[in-house]
Structure 1
Amino acid sequence: MATNLTEAARAVRTLRIDGYSATTAMGEEDSIKSRWSVDGYEWEVSVYPARVRVPMDEVPWVAAALNLLSQGRTNVVRANLAARLVDPRGSLQASEQKSQAETFIGRKGFSSPVFVYLLPSRDLPASGYLWNDTLTVECTITVLKDMPVPTVPVSQVLPMPSSNLHQHLAELLRAGTGADVTFVVAGEAFPAHKAILAARSPVLMAEFFGHMRETSSGRVQVRGVAPAAFKAMLHFVYTDTVPELDQEVKAVVTSWAQHLLAAADRYGLDRLKLICEIKLSAGITVDTAAMTLALAEKHSCSHLKAKCVEFIVSTPAILDAVVATEGYRHLEASCPAAVTSIVISMRGGRN
């Protein structure tokens, strides 16, 4: 099955110049003109008896030129001029056809003409094409017509399959096939693959393939991370997803986000860290504000810290309620800088 990508309008005319010898008095910019109508446009074809081909060339040529005279329907009009000398007696074959394409700006008088050079003027008398003081030139104008981009009917388009790479990697993690490192977290073992971990975590890249002490170790002891949080972090490393953060219970999501944010910061997983920040920012309450602020301060989460402070000082009632929580007492003891941020924000609000 063939699909047309373009259409073309074409017109062919034979232009005869009688009394050609009289044109020897014409200059290089002088021409004999003919008007055409092709594809709804007005065109002008000019025949030059002695057109200089290039500025530094003193040899004049028999040439033909095409110019667009009318206003274009579109911004550009693409056209081609082809020309050749013919012998009306039929004694000679037509000369070699010369052609030149041009894109005309579709505003009247804006574009320059396109030229086709046929034969040096001095060679014309001996060529046989000048007969009985008459020169005959066959010109062809071809105008390219834009067509709408062809489309394949929807019924013929196969749906693009969704990516299942994350599923394959999740199964690889679950099965432990080819695992070359085992993390031990609170006595629980997690087999994994160094290359995948290193590709995702700059910390693990340095640990496995740098000069750290565990470079060649097949077992890595992990302290300070809950096994469930470490397992969820590994799942993210392999699949770029965190199902635990998509639950509907906000308190559960907040708890997971707190644990995962700490793990993400520890292993340089910036995307997971940002996801946790977003989840925690959306779930700030009186009960969680102080603890979340302490977490933000500890792990350099500027956006989350600003959200927590904004919530805490939003009203006097909320401030009093947060100050009364156990989390605030923990905040005072562990993060005095965060308390200072609250005080500064309160003063700014009063001013």
Structure 2
Amino acid sequence: MSGSGFLEFRFDYSETENMAIGDAVTSDDISAGGHLWRINCCPRGECGDGMEDGKGEYVALYLELISDSKSVKTIFQVFCQGRDGEPSFSNERTLVRIYSNECYESPAVWGWTKFMKRSLLESVYVTDGWVTFLCSIIVLGADTIAVPPSDIGCDLGFLLESDTGTDVPFIVKGETIQAHRAILAARSPVFRAELFGTMSDATSSAIILQDIEPATFEAMLHFMYTDELPEDDQFGDFLTETMQHLLAAADRYALDRLKLMCARKLWNIITVDTFVSTLACAETHNCPELNNKCLEFFAMEKNFKKIVFTDGFMWLVQKFPDLSAKLKTRVGI
């Protein structure tokens, strides 16, 4: 490895409202591995190559090599800063490319024409009109062979989508969903006991689930095969509700990483209106990390003065009496 650099690319997103498709916001120059770089963001995406069909719905993001160099092997990684000021890895993107400004075959600019939907960026990551991209640039030495990130998740995801070799059907609210016993058992100790233990499900031709929604079960399977959450836009206006159900499923099947990923997502999108259901979810399904974050959110004066007048607040303190003392302590009552 020759060297690396890290840049917080922060700009006033509110000023991009009138920008055209293809217009870019550019970062300061950054030195990494003996080369100079800059990051270009097109808040309304790019034109050309059929991208005009996107109608400005996506944010485009690129890393540009600006020094006179060729055959620079580089790993470019980007993730967003959440509204809590912490890095959010839910939409992390990684690119491994050879950059050069001396030959056409290896361009000096690589990145993503569809880095993220504008609607997702605006609803989750824009804070007080500003957005921050956290960018890592790793330049590999000439005597190093660049190894791309693992694609096992893509391969297993395709296996799930294609139904190839499935051997266990689940009947979820009347809908049949196919899966692979071995993968489920490897990922979840609960499924391992159910599918290969002495329980009746181990010999059943089909497993019937009545207390989980098909969309939630499919999202859980997606994680178990790919180690990633589905894209937020798959859930439409029901992102908070789906993440709460998915956290409950992760708790049930002992998927600890998925549970924390759902907790982080719920924290990133929490509002005064979703506070009650989010805290109730954390309390019910033993998620202290999310529970503590919710208490911090409540302690902010501008929040608790609104939350106490929401329809569900009295239900919350009656349903979980221990929370009442915690909430009072947080606001100094």
TM class by shorter chain equals 0.5 to 0.7
Give per-residue Cα distances to partners, 1:161-195, cap 9 Å, x unaligned: 43221111111111222211111111111111111
Q: Which amino acid aligns with 1:331?
A: L
Deviation of 1:254 after TM superposition, in Å, equals 2.7
**2:291 is aligned with 1:310:** no
Greater mean deviation of Cα atoms: 233-242 or 275-284? 275-284
Which residue of 239, 245, 262 maps to 1:276?
A: 262
Q: Give the Cα separation in 1 of the matches to 2:212 and 2:235.
A: 23
For 1:301, the equivalent position in structure 2 comes to 287
Q: Give the Cα separation in 2 of the matches to 1:343 and 1:336.
A: 12
Q: Give the Cα separation in 1 of the matches to 2:263 and 2:236.
A: 14
Q: 1:171 to 1:153 in 2, by over 3 A?
A: closer
> Once the two structures are aligned, what percentage of the paired residues are identical?
44
Q: Give the Cα separation in 1 of the matches to 2:149 and 2:271.
A: 38
Which residue of 193, 211, 215 maps to 1:224?
A: 211
Q: Give the Cα separation in 1 of the matches to 2:234 and 2:181.
A: 34
For 1:345, the equivalent position in structure 2 comes to 330
Q: Which amino acid aligns with 2:293?
A: K
Contact 1:208 1:215 in 2 (8 A): yes
Give per-residue Cα distances to partners, 1:237-265, cap 9 Å, x unaligned: 011011234x5999654333212111111
Q: Which amino acid aligns with 1:328?
A: F
Which residue of 336, 342, 347 maps to 2:321?
A: 336
Q: Which amino acid aligns with 2:180?
A: H
**2:170 is aligned with 1:195:** no
Contact 1:265 1:273 in 2 (8 A): yes
Gapped runs of 5+ residues in structure 1? 1-151
Indicate the SS of the match to 1:182: strand
Q: Which amino acid aligns with 2:296?
A: E
Deviation of 1:216 after TM superposition, in Å, equals 1.0
Which residue of 326, 342, 350 maps to 2:311?
A: 326
Write out aligned runs for 1:167-246 (5 A): 167-245=154-232
Contact 1:265 1:299 in 2 (8 A): yes
Deviation of 1:153 after TM superposition, in Å, equals 7.3
Q: Give the Cα separation in 1 of the matches to 2:145 and 2:258.
A: 34
Q: Give the Cα separation in 2 of the matches to 1:261 and 1:171.
A: 24
Indicate the SS of the match to 1:190: strand
For 1:7, the equivalent position in structure 2 comes to none
Deviation of 1:158 after TM superposition, in Å, equals 5.0
Write out aligned runs for 1:80-229 (5 A): 154=142, 159-229=146-216
> Could you say which structure has the larger radius of gyration?
1
Indicate the SS of the match to 1:243: coil
Q: 1:286 to 1:153 in 2, by over 3 A?
A: closer
Deviation of 1:267 after TM superposition, in Å, equals 0.8
For 2:250, the equivalent position in structure 1 comes to 264
Q: Which amino acid aligns with 2:328?
A: V
Give per-residue Cα distances to partners, 1:38-67, cap 9 Å, x unaligned: xxxxxxxxxxxxxxxxxxxxxxxxxxxxxx
Q: 1:248 to 1:344 in 2, by over 3 A?
A: farther
Contact 1:169 1:238 in 2 (8 A): yes
Query: How many pairs align?
Result: 194
Q: 1:250 to 1:303 in 2, by over 3 A?
A: farther
Which residue of 271, 274, 297 maps to 1:285?
A: 271
Structure with greater contact order relative to length (CA < 8 Å, sep ≥ 6): 2
TM-score by structure 2 length? 0.53
Q: 1:250 to 1:293 in 2, by over 3 A?
A: farther
Q: Which amino acid aligns with 1:170?
A: G
Over the aligned positions, Cα root-mean-square deviation in angstroms equals 2.5
TM-score by structure 1 length? 0.51
After superposing on structure 2, the runs of 4+ consecutive aligned residues of structure 1 that deviate more than 6 Å are 248-251
Q: Which amino acid aligns with 1:302?
A: P
Q: Which amino acid aligns with 1:269?
A: L
Deviation of 1:339 after TM superposition, in Å, equals 2.6
Q: Which amino acid aligns with 1:190?
A: I
Q: Give the Cα separation in 2 of the matches to 1:209 and 1:241.
A: 25
For 1:6, the equivalent position in structure 2 comes to none
Deviation of 1:157 after TM superposition, in Å, equals 5.7
Write out aligned runs for 1:40-55 (5 A): none
Greater mean deviation of Cα atoms: 219-228 or 199-208? 219-228
For 1:138, the equivalent position in structure 2 comes to none
